[in-house]
Structure 1
Amino acid sequence: MGKVGANLLPEFLANEKFSGWSLRALCNNRVIDHPAVEIVRGSLSDQHAVRAALDGVTHVLHMAAVKESPDLAIDVGVKGIFNLLEAFRTSKTAKQFLLIGGDCSVGHIFHPYDAPITENSPRRAYPGCYALTKVIEEIMLEQYRIQYGINACSLRAPWIMEKDDFRHALSFRDQFGGPAWGEFLTIEEIARHAGTGAVPLLRDAKGAALKRNFIHVSDLVSAILLALDNPVANGGLFNVAMDVPVDYATVAAQLSASHGLPVVEISTPYHSNWLDNTKARMVLGWRSAVDLKLLIQRAWAYARAPDDPRLVWYPG
């Protein structure tokens, strides 16, 4: 089960609002072994598998995605949501379609914005098929609402953190995500920084400390549960992110003070942006509970058990 699903399932089952609901998951590569979840095997690109999965279903939560996999991007990212929406709009039981999107639809750190990024800001995908598919998903969902009047909403989330993800996102030894240090440093420099446990202080295109948006998975889960079966969510696109973007200078200062880690400044061509979550707070009553201090504390305190390896799923 993926990061979001694994965290969502226990919270969903414990929530009295959803007492009596049943769960069905359409899985291709993922494995879900839980007595509360019925499994349908198949690909989103297979319309017959999708229709079988949606038979009798009332609410659809679409979280599937592939990263930079051009051979799968159209089948999963584009054809997949098309199949889901076609099955949903023709269903006699369907009530709500909820999409988990990403801030790659607005380019996160790749494109500059001269104001906080709201739900009305222009979509600007960064290079690559993944960001393109996330833009198409948002637009297709929007058009299905216009064309057919379906009850649908989208939660647009930035980079999702859990466990020790944030520590590895800053690691020179076993990095999780990007930007890849090899784009800015030599192999020798990376090895030296890994040996000292250094912390990167990224600089943006203007030379200021880079500011990038994150969200802890527990906060995304709380947003999903608030939006699910909630009439006020109908037709909404909601940015869900930490109230304040992560400032790499603040991160470096905190880890230097708390853990005595050296700091390495790295110049980048990226842009500092602020994903504004005002609409989600106002309409859904959602609040981000994990701020930067807590994000750092959790990531550095987390100790992985032998049966809890780091798994990064892209295709699937």
Structure 2
Amino acid sequence: MLVLVTGATGKVGRVLLDQLLADPRWPDLRIRALCHNRTLSARDRLESVRGSIADREAVEQAMAGVTHVIHMATVKEDPLSAMDVSVKGMFWMLESYRQSPTARQFMLIGGDCVVGHIINSYDSPITENSPRKPYPGVYALSKVLEEVMLEQYYVQYGINGCCLRAPWIMEKDDFRHVLDFDQQFGGPDWDQLLTSAQRTEYATTSKVPILLDSTGATLKRNFIHVTDLVNAMLAALDNPASRQNLFNIAMNQPVDYGAVAEHLKQTRNLTSVTIETPFHSNWLDNAKARQLLGWHPRYDMARLVDDAFNY
């Protein structure tokens, strides 16, 4: 079993490599990591090759003898390279895969940007059958194109593949800094919601934000801890139930910013501040993954918060 991994040097990739190599189900599993800008340290059963997935020759060399592909390489809001990586790169990988005599499974790691996460609204939980409604920007567009391209290879060539669609991925103290008014991780952009004076005040007094959605209710947003995502990937790997399927990989319930503030008040005596936003509360339904893959996330809101603040 030879697994080609793209994006192996990232947040998810590092955890995935450790788990794959330690999993007793595949003692002879080997990994080939296709790396572009960064490299990996040498390890038993791990081979690193250099190249861009936008380069057809590099992809074909990396695919030689591969049985499984786990494709995570991506580009954020960079119009100069996003299409090269997400469209051209995905095309070369799928073309090489479908013609390979050894290929058995192609796994794509997608994102909830394709359904607009908190930017676009839904009147019911978001399932795998919900319409794609990406928010504006090249990154969300590129992830939609990846999903559609993979689905068309099912239709046109009958390949065995699956897509795991994940929301915002957390590890270490990420979630603590999501709430930070000073050294914030990710979004929302406080400068779009607050004055500079408000942001300074909330930062110096260690306030916890209670974000409100467009209806005035506390915002509910989807997250996933990196270990839960990797466990879902391992559950889908070489699993016949994953064939040509799309799975939402999220916590059992979205994180409620009001519940987070109340938890931190009770456990750490932190006070909160209410912030109005134009965002929408959405629920990424993970029932399909739980049913077909036997996967269950280990992180709920309390554990996500406590681990981040204890890190």
Q: Find out whether 1:21 has 2:29 as its counterpart.
A: yes
Superposed displacement of residue 15, structure 1:
0.8
Give, as a single letter, the amino acid of the residue that structure 2 aligns with 1:192.
E
Please give the per-residue CA displacement for 1:51-85, whole angstroms capped at 9, x wherever unaligned. Answer: 11101100000001111111111011111111110
1:103: which partner in 2? 112
2:97 to 78, 88, 105: 88
Please give the per-residue CA displacement for 1:109-156, whole angstroms capped at 9, x wherever unaligned. Answer: 011101100000000010110011111111100001110000000000
Superposed displacement of residue 34, structure 1:
3.3
* Mapping of residues 128-147 of structure 1, within 5 Å: 128-147=137-156
**DSSP 3-state at the match of 1:70:** coil
1:256: which partner in 2? 265
1:309: which partner in 2? none
Give, as a single letter, the amino acid of the residue that structure 2 aligns with 1:214.
F
Q: 1:201 touches 1:249 (CA, 8 Å); kept in 2?
A: yes
> What is the CA–CA distance in structure 2 between the aligned matches of 1:68 and 1:265, rounded to whole Å?
30
Q: Find out whether 1:11 has 2:22 as its counterpart.
A: no
2:205: which partner in 1? 196
**RMSD of Structure 2 on Structure 1 (CA):** 0.8
Q: 1:165 touches 1:299 (CA, 8 Å); kept in 2?
A: yes
Give, as a single letter, the amino acid of the residue that structure 2 aligns with 1:212.
R
1:313: which partner in 2? none
Structure 2 gap segments, 5+ residues each: 1-8
Give, as a single letter, the amino acid of the residue that structure 1 aligns with 2:91.
F
> What is the CA–CA distance in structure 2 between the aligned matches of 1:293 and 1:277, rounded to whole Å?
19
Q: 1:153 touches 1:233 (CA, 8 Å); kept in 2?
A: yes
Q: Find out whether 1:244 has 2:244 as its counterpart.
A: no
Q: 1:232 touches 1:284 (CA, 8 Å); kept in 2?
A: yes
Q: 1:74 touches 1:133 (CA, 8 Å); kept in 2?
A: yes
* Mapping of residues 12-161 of structure 1, within 5 Å: 12-35=20-43, 36-161=45-170
> What is the CA–CA distance in structure 2 between the aligned matches of 1:17 and 1:230, rounded to whole Å?
12
Q: Normalising by structure 2, what TM-score?
A: 0.96
Runs of 4+ in 1 over 3 A off after TM superposition: none
> What is the CA–CA distance in structure 2 between the aligned matches of 1:179 and 1:34, rounded to whole Å?
38
Structure 1 gap segments, 5+ residues each: 303-316
Please give the per-residue CA displacement for 1:210-235, whole angstroms capped at 9, x wherever unaligned. Answer: 00000000100100001001111101
Q: Which has the higher contact order (CA 8 A, sep 6+)?
A: 1
Q: Normalising by structure 1, what TM-score?
A: 0.94
Q: Find out whether 1:183 has 2:192 as its counterpart.
A: yes
> What is the CA–CA distance in structure 1 between the aligned matches of 2:237 and 2:74, rounded to whole Å?
20
Please give the per-residue CA displacement for 1:72-102, whole angstroms capped at 9, x wherever unaligned. Answer: 1101111111111011011111110000000
Q: How many residues align?
A: 302
> What is the CA–CA distance in structure 2 between the aligned matches of 1:82 and 1:188, rounded to whole Å?
49
Q: 1:2 touches 1:30 (CA, 8 Å); kept in 2?
A: no
**DSSP 3-state at the match of 1:40:** strand
Q: Find out whether 1:289 has 2:298 as its counterpart.
A: yes
